[in-house]
Amino acid sequence: MLKSFFIRANKDETNIKKGKKMARKLLIAGNWKMNGLLKDGVDLAKGVAAEVKSLGKTDLEFLVCPPFPILTFVKKALRGAKVALGAQDCHFDVKGAHTGDVSPVMLTDVGCTYVILGHSERRADHDESNELISKKTIAAHQNGLKTIVCIGETEAERDEGKTIDVCTKQILGSVPSCADAKNTVIAYEPVWAIGTGKTPTSKDVQEVHAAIRKVLSKKLGKSIANKMRILYGGSVKPSNAKEFLSLEDVDGALIGGASLKVEDFLGIAKNAVK
Ligand code: PGA
C-alpha cells in the first residue's frame, strides 16, 4: 500500500516535471559569431528559412544571431519564415558618444527581437563584468529586446569543483531583477566546451541546469524560474543534440560552429525532443 503510494507519488512528480518542460518552448539559437561575409550570411539565412518552412508547424522556436553589418540583409533573407533575428551584443545606452558600439534601439530598428549578452568570448575579450552585463540586459529589456544571458565556468574552475559557485555568482550578478521568463533566456555554456568538440556528460549538464533554476528561483521567484528557458551551449551538433535537448532542465541550445551549416543547424532541431 505504502509502496504503491510512493510509486504513484513519484510518477505524479515526473508528470509535473514533464509538464513544466512542455510549457517551455525549446529555443534553437544560432550564434554566428564573427563569421561570414554578406553573401555567406544571406545564403545561410535563405537555407535556414527554406528548411524551417518545410518543417511546417513545430513546437520549436528558431533564432539566428549574425554579425552586426549583415543584420538587415539576413532579416530580408528570412522573410516569411518563423526564424527570429538577434544580435550578439549591445551597449547599455540608447545613443551617444560610444565609438564602435551599437545601441539596443538600433537593433530593434533593423528587426532584432533578441540579443545575446555576456557571452564568455565577450567576458574574456572585452573584460565584460557581471555588472556591465546586467546594465546591458536592463537596457535591452527597456528597449523591447529579449536577452540571452550567458554564463559558464572555465576548465580550471571546473577542475577545482567551482562550476556551480561560478554560475551562481554570474547569475546573481548579471541577471537583473527585472528579468522574467518572457524577456530573458539563460545560456549555460562551459567555456572549455565552446568550439572544442568537448562536452560535459548529460548528467553534469542536467545537474548544473537544475542548480541554475534553483538560483533563479531564489532570485526571481519559483514561478518565473520554472518558466524561464535555460539553453545549453558548447559543441552542440546533430549527433549529441538529442542527449542534451531531452534533459529535464534543458530548454534549447545556443549553437556556434554547427549553426553555420544549414544541415547541421536543422539536424540539431530535428533531434530536439521534449
Ligand atoms: P560552439 O559555440 O557551438 O561552436 O561550441 C557555442 C557558443 O559559443 O555559443
Cα 78 from Cα 72, distance rounded (Å): 10
Atom of ligand 1 nearest to the CA of 187: 9
Cα 90 from Cα 65, distance rounded (Å): 12
Q: Which of 119, 121, 128, 153 is catalytic?
A: 119
pLDDT of residue 250: 98
- 22 C-alpha to ligand 1 centroid (Å): 25
Length of the chain: 274
Confidence of residue 142 (pLDDT cuts 50, 70, 90): very high
C-alpha cell at 70: 549583415
Check whether 59 has a pLDDT greater than 80. Answer: yes
Averaged pLDDT, 201-212? 98
Averaged pLDDT, 67-88? 98
Q: Which of 186, 235, 239 to mutate to test the pocket of ligand 1 (most atoms within 8 A of CB)?
A: 235
3-state secondary structure of 201: coil
Confidence of residue 191 (pLDDT cuts 50, 70, 90): very high
pLDDT of residue 91: 98
pLDDT of residue 160: 98
Confidence of residue 274 (pLDDT cuts 50, 70, 90): low
Q: Which of 51, 61, 189, 209 is catalytic?
A: 189
CB 187, CB 223: distance < 8 Å:
no
pLDDT of residue 136: 98
Q: Is residue 19 part of a domain?
A: no
Residues near 225 by Cβ (< 8 Å), separated by ≥ 6?
Answer: 213, 214, 216, 217, 219
Averaged pLDDT, 152-178? 98
Q: Which domain holds residue 180?
A: 4-11+26-270
Check whether 11 has a pLDDT greater than 50. Answer: no
Residues near 184 by Cβ (< 8 Å), separated by ≥ 6?
Answer: 137, 141, 146, 147, 148, 149, 175, 228
**Average pLDDT score over the chain:** 93
pLDDT of residue 14: 44
CB 36, CB 260: distance < 8 Å:
yes
Strand partners, 85: 64
119 has catalytic annotation: yes
Q: Is residue 63 part of a domain?
A: yes
Classify residue 115 by its DSSP letter: E
Atom of ligand 1 nearest to the CA of 120: 8
H or E stretch covering 192? none
Residues flanking ligand 1, CB < 6 Å: 31, 189, 194-195, 233-236, 254-258
- 238 C-alpha to ligand 1 centroid (Å): 13
CATH of the domain at 38: 3.20.20.70
Check whether 254 has a pLDDT greater than 80. Answer: yes
3-state secondary structure of 237: coil
Nearest residue (CA) to ligand 1, atom 6: 256
**Structural domain count, the chain:** 1
Confidence of residue 22 (pLDDT cuts 50, 70, 90): confident
Q: Is residue 74 part of a domain?
A: yes
Confidence of residue 108 (pLDDT cuts 50, 70, 90): very high
Residues near 46 by Cβ (< 8 Å), separated by ≥ 6?
Answer: 77
SS3 content of the chain, % helix, strand, coil (to 5): 50, 15, 35
- 37 C-alpha to ligand 1 centroid (Å): 19
pLDDT of residue 4: 40
Q: Is residue 16 part of a domain?
A: no
